[in-house]
Amino acid sequence: MSEQLSVTIDGLTIPQLGFGTWQLEPADARRMVAEALRIGYRHIDTAWIYHNEAAVGDGIRDAIEAGHVAREDIWLTTKIWVAHFEHDALLRQAEESAASLGFTPDLLLLHWPKATPTFAETLGALNEAKDRGLTRAIGLSNFPSAEFRQAQSLSPARLITNQVEYHPYLSLKTLRATAAELGSSITAWSPLAQGQIADDPIIGEIARTHGKSNGQVTLRWLVQQGVVAIPRTQKPERAAENFDIWDFQLSDEEMARIHALARPDGRLGDWLDKDFRWDQE
Ligand SMILES: NC(=O)c1ccc[n+]([C@@H]2O[C@H](COP(=O)([O-])OP(=O)(O)OC[C@H]3O[C@@H](n4cnc5c(N)ncnc54)[C@H](OP(=O)(O)O)[C@@H]3O)[C@@H](O)[C@H]2O)c1
């Protein structure tokens, strides 16, 4: 097996394939996080609002105790929920998340943009969380380009990723360019379009050429763009399948054919506040 790919920003190395835990009940989160780390994943994604941070921490401890991985080899991300965006509440949640996980996270994200309190207050508190050692790095989730730029202009520390929905049915051209311009990165949530890619005939054709599955081709398409992807599954065999993407490459033409699948109605999870608007494409 070839080495897994990663992106490095300001000296911090983020493994490009992570394991997502949204909608995993605590018992499944613990079991699957431990299994993912055993398979070779080195990046775990959770959030306060998933109500599974403690179980994710238990899964990480299980894998460490079993000798599969060391803490310093894992990239661990969690997120500040929108109800905790005031200064004191944000710092309280940062402490609570670290306590629930039993580990200081590597990355703390603002889960969705919110007009009040001001970005200045929230970004100030997020930077303070970093300065107090409650996380190694900070970033955003679900911020359109204008708000991404505004947040970075208010943040002394670089916002090292913007975690957003991205898969073959969304273009994300503008936001990918914004992230590059800001020296940041894109992390793709719902990278498998919540399973929809499994039935795609074009992806299927490309997958057959490589002797791979539709899921593997989709994840390869993401990491080959320099994007971080965090697929989720509750099935150990699928976790292994999704991780097995390091031994093949898509051609420029295959990459372009998958990009061409983007469509205007491709978005699956639109919970953006009405104060904001997604980039046109
Ligand atoms: N920041 C945010 O606002 C935000 C929002 C949503 C998600 N996220 C993060 O992103 C992660 C991933 O997104 P997601 O969970 O929405 O969707 P996803 O990873 O695109 O899809 C998960 C679904 O696809 C199925 N699946 C997994 N591997 C597959 C494969 N190889 N072939 C076919 N189907 C497959 C899974 O079913 P089985 O379990 O049956 O395998 C599950 O139903 C989340 O877990 C979470 O960590 C973040």
Closest residue by Cα to residue 170 from 38, 269, 92, 236 = 269
Q: Is 77 in the pocket of ligand 1 (CB under 6 A)?
A: no
11 CB-contact burial (10 Å; exposed 0-12 / middle 13-18 / buried 19+) = exposed
CA dihedral 46, 76, 189, 114 (to 10 degrees): 70
Ligand 1 mutation target, pool 16, 21, 22, most atoms within 8 A of CB: 22
Collapsing DSSP states into helix, strand and coil, what is residue 160?
A: strand
Q: Is the CB of 233 under 6 A from ligand 1?
A: yes
What's the DSSP call for residue 269? -
Query: Hey, whose CA ends up nearest to atom 38 of ligand 1?
Result: 233
- The CATH code belonging to domain 6-259 is 3.20.20.100
In the chain, which stretches have pLDDT less than 70? 1
How many C-beta atoms surround the C-beta of residue 100 within 10 A?
Answer: 19
For ligand 1, atom 24, which residue shows the shortest CA distance? 195
Ligand 1 atom at minimal distance to the Cα of residue 23: 45
pLDDT score at 1: 54
Helix 145-153 to helix 119-131 angle, to the nearest 10 degrees?
A: 60
Q: Bridge partners of 12?
A: 9
Element (H, E) at 128: helix 119-131
Ligand 1 neighbour 93 (Cβ under 6 A): no
The residue whose CA is least distant from atom 25 of ligand 1 is 195
- The yes-or-no answer on residue 166 being catalytic is no
